[in-house]
Amino acid sequence: MNLLKLSTAYLKKNLLSTILNVLLLSFGIATIVILVLFSYQLEENLYKNAEGIDVVVGAKGSPIQLILSGIYHIDNPTGNIDLGEAKQLMRHPMVASAIPLALGDNYRGYRIVGTTTAYLEKYRAEPASGSLWDFEFEIVLGSDVAEQTNLAIGDRIVSSHGFSEAGHVHDDHELTVVGILHPTGTVLDRLILTGVETMWGIHQPHDHDHEDEYHSDQAHDDEHVHTHNHADGDSHSHSHDNHQQDGHFHENGHSHDHAGHHHTHGRAITDETFLDEGYDDEQITALLIRYSNPLAAAQFPRFVNDRTSMQAAAPAVEVTRLLSLLGVGLEAIRLFAFVLIFASVLGIFIALLNSMKERKYDLAIMRTLGGSRWKLFSHVVLEGVMISVAGGVLGLLMGHGAMEGIGRLFSEAQQFAVTGFVYVPGEELILLLAAAVGVLSSLIPAVMAYRTEIAETLSKS
Amino acid sequence: MIELRSAFHEYNAGTVVKLPDLTAGHGEELLILGLSGSGKTTLLHVLAGLLKPTGGSYRLDGTDLYSLGESERDRFRGNNIGLIFQAMHLIRSLTVLDNLKLAQYMAGRKQDEAKIRRLCSDLDIGPKLYSYPDELSHGQKQRVSIARAVVNDPVLLLADEPTSSLDDLRSGDVLNLLRKQAAETGATLIISTHDQRVKAHIPTVLTLDQPEGEVAG
């Protein structure tokens, strides 16, 4: 016999009320745990993906939209910018590095991003199998994409226009999987990557026998922002037939004949050659820029916004803004959690209070048997703490379980994979909160137990 | 050896109860007879160490009980005084075994299950060790409460109206059990009752006839 066994015996005696109070508290704790896990993963994701990006440049529009589409690949892009103009910014002295992104297509909902290999280096992504692209129409899959679509190296796919699966299908350009990336824990895992020129190639004006398709493509332009080619369609000689017949993409590229530049064989534009390759009348969607010095943060965005037809948005600023918008919702949920916890404080308090009335003879007897006032006090507090710590432990488990459930439920739809199998530093402190709930709610009943007057109680029997 | 000298207790309402002087040695048996309101309960509570008298002295085996601090007095009581109540007050959430272990635990003693088993088979409740009080008959509950009072080998065994709700036969049984248990530990046995039948078993009688509410001069 000890206080733990004694308190357990009383809790078992009132099993229903004990279970209800444990559950009530565990719901409140679980809600807080979900919030903590979610915020932690969200902030980690936001931070990790924006690491090393000081500013994003894209078409004018909402800066948050530009950040969401350019870094996190969530929202639709704000539009396209001319590569010529973008290159001027890339050469700007305040710019240490700039990664071009061309968006506009997806495969089964996974975004296809035309970029240079610098984008992969930024996220320290390396192929787990295969290699990076060397030629246009070669693609590299993020680890989640490979896992979800079961695509393997050598497989060919056709992309859909826009950002949903329902888009117009570019079935005249097959894309070949040449590599699959290691998981990076970043947005890259859910992207399909290729050279920018692939995106230009897919959206090129077609030969005359494809004219209908081309027109329907154009009709989408108001809804879907994508990279497409306005200019000199006639100067492109583009033989799709060869593609489909022999499948040798590498050999039969496109001959771009403009700006004095000759590009044959469809060899991919490398990071080193990007600035010098020409294509100035092509378009891209965004530039991810790192400054050469910290002072640029004050001047560069203003320069872009005032002097060019583009806009610059700083992830640090926009992410803070986004979190503060999101914060209202999270705050509401947090408030709800505290209401639940307060309700459980009341619940435990009332249960113990009623129990004290039933137990006044028991308490008096314990005193006559030699128990001190403090022993009875501890006995009652222990009972409250046992309920609340049980609620806390259950709440922690439920919170992690629910987070994992939510993560799985939305795993297809989200750019941010959330999981319940994550440890947030300090999350065990929530058990202290739970214990505090137990102490708080048992304090008054425990004082009543402490004050038990034996002679008075027993002579009333 | 218990000694109560010139003790009285004044209740908050101003009522003063004067307690008789009283001496009893080890193994002695004493019957306190009196109607309700005669100060019987006050005397019993003072003797049990539950109620500090306003004046007078009370010594139990040489210890001045009411000069001890409250927690020390609780512990002393748990170890030296066994109490049996008319309403028994067993703890319903605990089994018979745990009720008895609780007595050892609260007194700060080693929990001796073998001793509890021995005691319970002495009192014919051996098979009921794992039963809850609500599953016991009245007589069995009374035996459990006797076991609880003697499990810590008290020097003083106090029983409050142990026989009043029993028929003659059962009342005789209970008195025999009490006397036997007290004799085994060498405890002083004091029974407080208004039940005149007890006189037949315990010859030493202290009769209280103090009318209620006597005000001290």
Residue A262: pLDDT above 90?
Answer: no
What is d(CA B125, CA B177) in angstroms, rounded to the nearest whole number?
Answer: 13
Summarize pLDDT for A345-358 with one digit per residue, the tens: 999 999 999 999 99
Residue B189 pLDDT class (50, 70, 90 cuts): very high
Beta bridge partners of A69: none
Distance CA B215, CA B217 (A): 6
Contact A166, A105 (CB under 8 A): no
pLDDT: which is higher, A451 or B13: A451
Mean per-residue pLDDT for A118-132?
93
Model pTM?
0.77
Residue A319 has pLDDT above 50, yes or no: yes
Q: Which residue in A405, A291, A421, A402 sits closest to A32, CA to CA?
A: A402
Q: Which residues of B touch A (CB under 8 A)?
A: 41, 45, 48, 50-51, 70-71, 74-79, 83, 85-87, 89, 91-94, 98, 101-108, 111, 148
Contact A368 B70 (CB under 8 A): no
Question: B106 vs A461: CB contact, 8 Å cut-off?
Answer: no
Average pLDDT, chain B: 90
pLDDT of residue A263 exceeding 90: no
Please report the pLDDT score of residue A325 as a whole number. Answer: 87
* Residue A185: Cβ within 10 Å count: 14
> Residue A328: CB partners within 8 Å, gap ≥ 6?
none
Between B44 and A165, where is the model more confident? Answer: B44
CA distance A392 to chain B (A): 25
Report the pLDDT value the prediction gives residue A227, as an integer from 0 to 100. Answer: 43
Q: pLDDT tens for residues B107-139?
A: 999 999 999 999 999 999 999 999 999 999 999
Nearest to A454 among B50, B101, B148 (CB): B50
Lowest mean pLDDT among A269-273, A306-310, A370-374: A269-273
The Cα–Cα gap between A330 and A414 comes to 18
Give residue A456's pLDDT.
86
- In angstroms, the separation between the Cα of residue A378 and the nearest Cα of chain B is 13
pLDDT at residue A313 tops 80: yes
Q: Tell me, what's the pLDDT at A179?
A: 95
Return the minimum-mean-pLDDT range out of A86-95, A102-111, A409-418. Answer: A409-418
Q: What is the pLDDT of residue A97?
A: 92
- ipTM rounded to 2 decimals: 0.92
Quote the pLDDT of residue A141: 95
Asked whether the beta carbons of A284 and A104 are under 8 A apart, the reply is no
Distance to chain A for B108, nearest Cα, Å: 8
Report percent pLDDT > 90 for chain A: 61
Q: Do A370 and B86 touch (CB under 8 A)?
A: no
Question: Taking each helix axis from N to C terminus, what angle separates B70-80 and A360-368, rounded to the nearest 10 degrees?
Answer: 80
Alpha carbons A148 and A328: distance in angstroms, whole number: 34
Cβ-based contacts of B104 with chain A (< 8 Å): 1
Give the residue on A whose Cα is nearest the Cα of B44: A455
Check residue A414 and give its pLDDT.
Answer: 64
> Per-residue pLDDT tens for A1-34?
899 999 999 999 999 999 999 999 999 999 999 9
Which tens digits make up the pLDDT trace of A226-241?
Answer: 444 444 444 444 444 4
Beta bridge partners of A111: A106, A191
Section A182-203 average pLDDT: 90
Residue B56 has pLDDT above 70, yes or no: yes
A23 or B11: which leads in pLDDT: A23
Burial class (CB in 10 A: 0-12, 13-18, 19+), A192: buried
Task: Give the pLDDT score at B69.
Answer: 92
pLDDT of B52 over the 60 cut: yes
Q: Which residue in this structure is represented by tokens 């001047």?
A: A299
Full DSSP string of A292-345 = SSTTHHHHHHHHHHHHSSEEEE-HHHHHHHHHHHHHHHHHHHHHHHHHHHHHHH
Could B93 and A371 be called an inter-chain contact, meaning their C-beta atoms sit closer than 8 Å?
Answer: no
What was the pLDDT predicted at B96?
97
For chain B, say whether A371 makes contact (Cβ under 8 Å).
yes
pLDDT of amino acid A413: 60
